[in-house]
C-alpha cells in the first residue's frame, strides 16, 4: 500500500534539502562536471535496492544529472514515503561521488490548453504528439519516454474571445520564482495576475501570449 505524503511534508523531511517539488514530483539537480561523472552517479542510483519499475526518471548531460521521483498508481501521481527515502539515498550517493546539488537549476514545463470539449480536443493532441493519457481522469497527456512536456487540459464553460486558449506553465523552485518573474518583466513582459503570488504569477509577452510561473507552496497541498 502506498503511503502518500504531501509536498510540504516531503520538503520538511530530514535529508531532502537538495530536492524541490515541481508540479507533482520531486526533483534534484546534481552538477557533476563531466558526462563520465554523471554516468557513474546514474550507475550508483541504479544499484539501489527497491527501485520501482517507473522511477526514478534520470536525465544525464555533460555537466550534470537531474533526477525526478514520482509515485504512480492507477488514479494518482504524487510523492510517497518511498520517495522520501530514495531522495535521501540519492543525495547521499551524490555527495559521496562529489556531485554538487543545485536546486536553482530545476524547472518543469507544462503546456495548458483551454477546451470546451476535452475528448475531442485531447484526441487531436494525443494523435499529433504521439502522447498517451497520463491517468484515468484523462485531463493530461504525457510523452511515455519523458522527453516532452506534459499537456494539461482545462475545462472551459464558454469561449473567451480575444484571449489565448493555450499557455505555458513553468514550474521553478520557490526561492527563484520572484527573480524569474522579475527577469521576464524586465525583458518586456507584463504582469497579468498576481493574486496567487507565491503560488503562481500570470505574465504575458509583448503580444499577449501568456505564461504562468509557478512554485510549490504549502497552500497547494490539496491539489
CA atoms within 13 A on the CB side of 29: 16
- 3.40.50.2020, 3.40.50.1820, 3.10.180.10, 3.30.160.620: CATH of 108-220: 3.10.180.10
CATH of region 4-105: 3.30.1360.20
Q: Strands 4-5 and 77-80: what pairing?
A: antiparallel
What pLDDT score does 134 carry?
Answer: 81
CA–CA dist 173, 125 (Å, integer) = 29
Per-domain boundaries in the chain: 4-105, 108-220
Q: What strands, in cross-sheet order, belong to the sheet with 77-80? A: 4-5, 77-80, 71-72
Q: What is the pLDDT of residue 219?
A: 58
- Tens-level pLDDT at each residue, the chain (223 residues): 889 999 999 999 999 999 999 987 999 999 999 999 999 999 999 999 878 776 799 999 999 999 999 998 877 888 999 999 999 999 999 999 999 999 999 999 999 998 888 888 899 999 989 999 887 667 789 998 888 999 999 887 776 665 668 899 999 999 999 999 999 999 999 999 999 888 999 999 998 889 999 998 765 565 5
- What is the pLDDT at residue 103? 97
Cell (9 digits) for 5:
505524503
Q: What's residue 154's pLDDT?
A: 85
Task: List the one residue out of 199, 203, 180 whose CA is nearest residue 7.
Answer: 199
φ/ψ of 38, rounded to 5, equals -65, -40
**Per-residue pLDDT, 182:** 96
Reported pTM: 0.88
Amino acid at each position: 500500500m502506498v503511503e502518500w505524503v504531501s509536498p510540504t511534508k516531503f520538503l520538511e523531511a530530514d535529508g531532502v534539502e537538495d530536492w524541490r517539488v515541481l508540479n507533482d514530483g520531486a526533483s534534484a539537480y546534481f552538477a557533476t562536471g563531466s558526462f563520465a561523472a554523471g554516468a557513474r552517479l546514474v550507475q550508483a542510483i541504479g544499484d539501489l535496492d527497491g527501485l520501482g519499475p517507473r522511477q526514478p526518471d534520470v536525465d544525464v548531460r555533460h555537466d550534470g544529472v537531474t533526477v525526478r521521483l514520482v509515485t504512480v498508481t492507477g488514479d494518482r501521481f504524487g510523492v510517497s514515503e518511498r520517495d522520501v527515502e530514495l531522495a535521501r539515498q540519492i543525495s547521499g550517493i551524490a555527495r559521496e561521488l562529489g556531485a554538487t546539488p543545485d536546486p536553482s537549476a530545476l524547472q518543469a514545463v507544462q503546456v495548458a490548453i483551454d477546451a470546451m470539449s476535452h475528448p475531442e480536443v485531447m484526441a487531436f493532441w494525443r494523435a499529433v504528439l504521439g502522447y498517451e493519457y497520463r491517468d484515468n481522469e484523462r485531463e493530461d497527456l504525457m510523452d511515455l519516454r519523458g522527453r516532452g512536456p506534459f499537456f494539461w487540459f482545462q475545462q472551459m464553460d464558454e469561449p473567451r474571445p480575444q484571449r489565448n486558449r493555450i499557455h505555458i506553465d513553468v514550474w521553478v523552485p520557490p526561492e527563484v520564482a520572484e527573480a524569474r518573474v522579475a527577469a521576464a518583466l524586465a525583458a518586456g513582459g507584463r504582469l497579468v495576475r498576481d493574486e496567487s503570488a507565491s503560488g503562481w504569477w500570470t505574465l504575458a509577452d509583448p503580444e499577449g501570449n501568456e505564461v504562468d510561473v509557478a512554485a510549490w507552496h504549502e497552500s497547494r497541498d490539496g491539489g
